[in-house]
Amino acid sequence: MDLSRDSVRNFSKSRGLDGYGQDYSNPKPEKVIREHYKNCGKRINQKKLKGRPKTYCSTECKREWEHKNPVIYQHVCYYCGTEFENKSKSSNYCCRRCYIRDRFWRDEDIEEVINHLKEKKPLQNVPIWIRDLMAGNEAQEPDEDSKEYY
């Protein structure tokens, strides 16, 4: 074929062929258009606008829904290692006692553990760092940037 590159390009453009095909391997899921508010169930009277559609009719309605459906996160206490649930995303301790003991009571913990071991009594809520020392592992101090101990 004696056709120049420009004539092929002009022919393709006139037919709507720009050289870019659609990706049919992973079709995009259809957007679900909410017709009713999430909490109260009233019908949404919102014009089709750009951006995110309304989910709640008012701030009171949103607060009521969040109160009925709380988000609960799973955590592990930095001090005693017990698992606990909390509404906060960034909780580190299961109770105030564990926070205070981890922050200020390192020397008292050692004395308490030694006394329990001498008396051959079982230990309640052994701190993770003491468990590691008893197992022969070195205790790791957390970095200032990192919140995780282990």
| 44 half-sphere exposure, CB direction, 13 A CA radius | 15
From 4-13, 60-69, 139-148, the region with the lowest mean pLDDT: 139-148
Domains of the chain by residue range: 73-135
User: Which band of pLDDT confidence, cut at 50, 70 and 90, is reported for residue 32?
Assistant: low
Displacement of CA 86 from its chain's centroid (Å): 13
User: Which band of pLDDT confidence, cut at 50, 70 and 90, is reported for residue 74?
Assistant: very high
* Among 126, 124, 132, residue whose Cα is nearest residue 150: 132
- Arithmetic mean of pLDDT, 32-36: 70
